[in-house]
Amino acid sequence: MSFTHTIAQRAASIDSCVCVGLDPDLNKLPRHLPRDAAGVTEFLLHVIDATAGIACAFKPNLAFFGALGVGGLEVLAHVRRNIPSDTPVILDFKAGDIGNTAERYADMAFDVIGADAVTVNPYMGFDAVRPFLRPGRCAFVLCLTSNKSSADLQHLPVDGRPLYTVTAEIVNRWSSHGECGLVVGATHPDELEEIRKTSPTLPFLIPGVGTQGGDAEAVVRRGSFPGGGGILINASRGILYASDGEDFADAAMKAAEDLRAATSGLPQGV
């Protein structure tokens, strides 16, 4: 079963395209938890437990685990093992390196951590993406990102069209068996709709709602497959740090539920 089909089934079964980003920042943990690996683990396991029924996927970001110290990968692997097996896990680390190195990153992501999908940077070309193309997995390739300086390169004019449109076209060619997706930020709704038109079958991972200001309802309307579905809307800080008190897990659930509700009733399935 393709990854697109996996997330379509899950989205339909729980009426949610919400992806819960797991970016554990020691400076933002609930006040009563210790600022260390044990505190992070406790924090994330409670958030996962509280949001499991709403999360179409979870997306841990490697940076936040690497910054914990040399035990960071162990925390990440432990957290991943506590995510229910019916919920896909996207390891977000924007990999981009030459072929033999990308193979080691694929080993790390899929075998060491147990991820189902990854994020990948397109700048080095297909060599750097191919090792992640495994049946049933997904490589979400950066296309148009949610940050302000995305324009520095992504809007450069290539034969009169912005680079991100060319990136999208190239990724469509790379995804010969449906193993690629695109990362398109919620902060660019017009461009999101334009990219969807030229990429009618690629799943989109869409960060940038909540803290970064994107509008979830507009994202579903303009980013979904023509028949609905095909998107994961990620929120990280807005869910994780909805409260810094002892009610953090309830607050996370409520924030995830608010995001789900904002997109409910709109077509989610295949």
Q: Are 34 and 209 in contact (CB under 8 A)?
A: no
Distance from C-alpha of 28 to C-alpha of 12, rounded to nearest angstrom: 33
- Of 110, 130, 114, 111, the closest CA to residue 122 belongs to 130
Query: Residue 176 has which token pair?
Result: 């010969």
Give the nearer residue to its own copies in terms of CB position, either 241 or 248: 241
Distance from C-alpha of 207 to C-alpha of 214, rounded to nearest angstrom: 8
Give the nearer residue to its own copies in terms of CB position, either 144 or 256: 144
Distance from C-alpha of 240 to C-alpha of 244, rounded to nearest angstrom: 9
Give the nearer residue to its own copies in terms of CB position, either 10 or 137: 137
Give the nearer residue to its own copies in terms of CB position, either 175 or 268: 175
Strands lying side by side in the sheet with 138-144: 57-60, 18-22, 231-235, 204-206, 180-184, 138-144, 117-120, 90-95
Q: Does 156 bind its own copies (CB under 8 A)?
A: yes
Q: Which of 3, 43, 58, 64 binds its own copies (CB under 8 A)?
A: 64
Query: Residue 74 has which token pair?
Result: 């162990």
Q: Does 198 bind its own copies (CB under 8 A)?
A: no
Least gap, CB of 146 to its own copies (angstroms): 7
Contact region with its own copies (CB under 8 A), list: 124-132, 217-225, 226-234, 246-254: 124-132
Contact region with its own copies (CB under 8 A), list: 1-9, 67-75, 194-202, 261-269: 67-75
Indicate which residue of 28, 59, 94, 148 is catalytic: 94
- Of 125, 199, 126, 190, the closest CA to residue 168 belongs to 199
Distance from C-alpha of 45 to C-alpha of 82, rounded to nearest angstrom: 7
Contact region with its own copies (CB under 8 A), list: 11-19, 34-42, 45-53, 57-65: 57-65
254 is annotated as an active-site residue: no
Q: Does 148 bind its own copies (CB under 8 A)?
A: yes
Q: Does 38 bind its own copies (CB under 8 A)?
A: no
Under the rule (CB under 8 A), what is the footprint of its own copies? 23, 25, 61, 63-64, 66-74, 76-77, 92-102, 104-105, 107-108, 111-112, 121-128, 142, 145-154, 156-159, 163, 166-167, 170
Q: Which residues are catalytic?
A: 94
